[in-house]
Structure 1
Amino acid sequence: MTQQQTALQPMTPHDLTQIIFQHEKLFILDVRNQSDYHDWKIEGKGIESINIPYFDLIDGVEPALTHIPEGKKVLVVCAKEGSSIFVAEQLVEAGRSDVYYLAGGMKAWSEHLEPVKVGDLRDGGALYQFVRIGKGCLSYMVVSNGEAAIIDTLRMTDVYTDFASSHQVQITHTIDTHLHADHISGGKKLADQVGATYWLPAKDAEEVTFAYKKLEEGKEITVGNTKIAIQPIYSPGHTIGSTSLIIDDQYFLTGDILFVESIGRPDLAGKAEDWVSDLRHTLYSRYRELSNELIVLPAHFGKITELGEGGVVSARLQDLFENNPGLNITDEGDFRRAVTENLPPQPNAYQEIRQTNMGKIKPSPEEQQEMEIGPNRCAVHDK
């Protein structure tokens, strides 16, 4: 990407992700409808964006030119790509340089996974986080001695198989910490593809239509011959079966129970009042029995500010006990109100997503893509 670009170029979701990770400056002209923009947009520390709908620019881009600063890299964004190419071409013709369009539009942005290394494991191997930056989903791959386990697998399974192939490891386990409601799990699909074992908490699996192995406390899942144990910890609250994982005695995968800046919501299965006490017990009792030095790795992030160095979303458990507002509500009644009232809107198509993850319905790939459009909303304080 040259500073004095004259011809229009695409910017891939990977390119955009790196810009956000590096806190580079970028000006975004989003030409989707206002409602879509306000519901879900591209954000970052160096990102400035405005929304001017495509239909306001069909007859010319003059309404946009006065808002676009000189000397900044400009990215035009739309839902699928076509409208952004048209507008970006007009900007280039109007004399603007360094203009790009987002390849694949927001649909591609929603599906992009960026693998980042979290750290090394003590007896060899490594832990990787796959950041679905456009939707705020996080999944993980544990690699040890030629084998890999994937936790909270997303439906874009090719990303994991390609990564495993490039690292010369075989995927032997896929694990879901709970039955997801905001995105379609790829755990069972990937396990079937590669001959791996698929794990799911039994209490979340009462209605599933397929075979699985019970993820439950007291069991250990070993990856490779170096005994990198994935130790399940029963931690209900977001769902009745939610199960956290301790990996290598140093990493704590909390699923959708605990996030860096918030806590999980208990209402996505319609049982908020029933599960509030479970959620509080998990967060205020069970987690406090664990080592404060564990590195928390959640299944989602709600705000771009939760991305740390290199794009990794993580925090020390002790720091969350001190700074996370959801872990510092001393009165039980106040806690109950906080996690059941004034919650963010529920995730798009979450009931259909739960049905899909149970195997009860089988939407087409296009339907699955549409079901997942928009932000995740699994936290109490996402907005």
Structure 2
Amino acid sequence: MAHAMTTQEVTQKVINRQSLFILDVRNEDAFADWKIEGENFNYLNVPYFDLLDGVEDILDQLPTDQDVLVVCAKEGSSIFVAEMLEEAGRTVSYLAGGMKAWSEHLEPISLGTLNETGQDRGEVVQFVRIGKGCLSYMIISEGEAVLVDATRMTDVYLDYAAARNVKITHVFDTHLHADHISGGREIAEKTGATYWLPPKDATDVTFEYAALEDGSHVQVGDTQIDVLALYSPGHTIGSTSFVVDNRYLLTGDILFIDSIGRPDLAGLADDWVGDLRNSLYTTYRELSNDLIVLPAHFMLIEELNADGSVAEKLSILLANNHGLNIEDEAVFRKMVTENLPPQPNAYQEIRETNMGKKTPDLETQREMEVGPNRCAVR
């Protein structure tokens, strides 16, 4: 029986920049659209159906001096191919759960404490959805926690909070997401936390929520970790950022490390591009350049820091992020409205699910989220 490599093991190889050879047996179009990314990964894509009669034709294309991982959509095909390779004398692994499991893996990474001197007042934990590029956050202080942009894998956050012995008291979505299904409402219902959503993004929702307005303050723990809401439209009309303890800037899908947010997922790119520019070129530039930017997504695996986190000082982004350095507004508008990647998979259905208008079953939710995130203009 071939060895199963878990998504956590693969994630550690990504973070540690280790080598890995991936034999992806999905169809060519699926592989071209979305694959496991790693700085030192090599790939061979041979569809499963081309291997039904045997693996002899690919043996000389597989290395013998590094780990080989067979990958498919759900696991079954990769087990079949891996076992044929084992019978042919090769030592290989298959990805447990396939690309569906890879899409759902969340890796918690502590970003450090919230004060540099005196008594520890808490920390920010970043949950890296390594296969999808989504980033969510837990802000912890003295037994309480706030969640920001939680994914639908709610048990990960609930189990983490239980292990840390903290109570989730507030759950925020920075905007109405279109690329992934939010777990915010479900977590709030299970924990009794308050669920917050920007009202300008909530005009069509079917549920009650707390209005996340510009200037809203939330306290975390007895020692007043301050979470300040900062209205920053552009990706959506309600997009809201957070300044946490005057140290971190959670930008949602407005600003990323190597790119900026796209304004078109509600079909209003021409209407919202001005808001996007104002948020990036006015609102953010009035903030302290020492703030550490924590986005809701990353686009490239190279954006991961040495510890696997995705974070960078605002000053660095103001200097190096191309989207923040286009002086001519007409050029900016053209770049943002004409340089858009394909729409996220099932984005309209995802938006309606996050509005509460649709309640797809788990398998349908997984299918809706298949593929990379596509929230950026690069």
TM-score (norm 1): 0.97
The alignment's C-alpha RMSD in Å is 0.8
2:25 corresponds to: 31
Q: Of 7, 28, 41, which aligns to 1:13?
A: 7
Q: Of 309, 312, 331, which aligns to 2:309?
A: 312
2:123 corresponds to: 126
Task: Give the letter for the 1:175 counterpart.
Answer: F
Asked whether 1:345 is paired with 2:342, we answer yes
1:363 corresponds to: 360
Asked whether 1:161 is paired with 2:158, we answer yes
2:139 corresponds to: 142
1:50 corresponds to: 44
Asked whether 1:245 is paired with 2:255, we answer no
User: Match of 1:75, SS?
Assistant: strand
1:3 corresponds to: none
User: Match of 1:139, SS?
Assistant: strand
- How big is each residue's C-alpha offset from its partner over 1:323-374, in whole Å with a ceiling of 9 and x where there is no partner? 0011111111110011111311010000000000000111111111110010
Task: Give the letter for the 1:117 counterpart.
Answer: S
State the 1:277 CA deviation: 0.4
- How big is each residue's C-alpha offset from its partner over 1:105-135, in whole Å with a ceiling of 9 and x where there is no partner? 0000001101001111115111000000000
Asked whether 1:354 is paired with 2:370, we answer no
- How big is each residue's C-alpha offset from its partner over 1:53-108, in whole Å with a ceiling of 9 and x where there is no partner? 001111111222121112110000000000000111111111112x1000000000
Question: Which whole-Å CA distance do the structure 1 matches of 2:296 and 2:215 have between them?
Answer: 22
User: Match of 2:260, SS?
Assistant: coil
- How big is each residue's C-alpha offset from its partner over 1:230-287, in whole Å with a ceiling of 9 and x where there is no partner? 1000000000000000001001000000000000000000100000000000000110
Alignment of 1:1-383 (within 5 A): 8-97=2-91, 99-122=92-115, 123-381=120-378
Question: Which whole-Å CA distance do the structure 1 matches of 2:216 and 2:31 have between them?
Answer: 45
Question: Which whole-Å CA distance do the structure 1 matches of 2:285 and 2:54 have between them?
Answer: 59
Question: Which whole-Å CA distance do the structure 1 matches of 2:154 and 2:51 have between them?
Answer: 38
Question: Which whole-Å CA distance do the structure 2 matches of 1:68 and 1:279 have between them?
Answer: 47
Task: Give the letter for the 2:63 counterpart.
Answer: P
Question: Which whole-Å CA distance do the structure 1 matches of 2:317 and 2:216 have between them?
Answer: 27
Question: Which whole-Å CA distance do the structure 2 matches of 1:320 and 1:103 have between them?
Answer: 37
User: Match of 2:159, SS?
Assistant: helix
Task: Give the fraction of aligned pairs with identical amino acids, expressed as a percent.
Answer: 64
Question: Which whole-Å CA distance do the structure 2 matches of 1:309 and 1:298 have between them?
Answer: 17
Task: Give the letter for the 1:108 counterpart.
Answer: A
User: Match of 1:29, SS?
Assistant: strand
TM-score (norm 2): 0.98
Count the aligned residue pairs: 374
State the 1:143 CA deviation: 0.6
Question: Which whole-Å CA distance do the structure 2 matches of 1:62 and 1:338 have between them?
Answer: 48
Question: Which whole-Å CA distance do the structure 1 matches of 2:88 and 2:363 have between them?
Answer: 36
Question: Which whole-Å CA distance do the structure 2 matches of 1:66 and 1:240 have between them?
Answer: 54
User: Match of 2:261, SS?
Assistant: coil
- How big is each residue's C-alpha offset from its partner over 1:166-188, in whole Å with a ceiling of 9 and x where there is no partner? 00001111100000000000001
- How big is each residue's C-alpha offset from its partner over 1:27-61, in whole Å with a ceiling of 9 and x where there is no partner? 00000000000000011112111100001111111
Unaligned runs of 5+ in 1: 1-6
1:4 corresponds to: none
Task: Give the letter for the 2:172 counterpart.
Answer: I
Task: Give the letter for the 2:226 counterpart.
Answer: A
Question: Which whole-Å CA distance do the structure 2 matches of 1:342 and 1:177 have between them?
Answer: 24
User: Match of 2:127, SS?
Assistant: strand
State the 1:139 CA deviation: 0.1
Unaligned runs of 5+ in 2: none
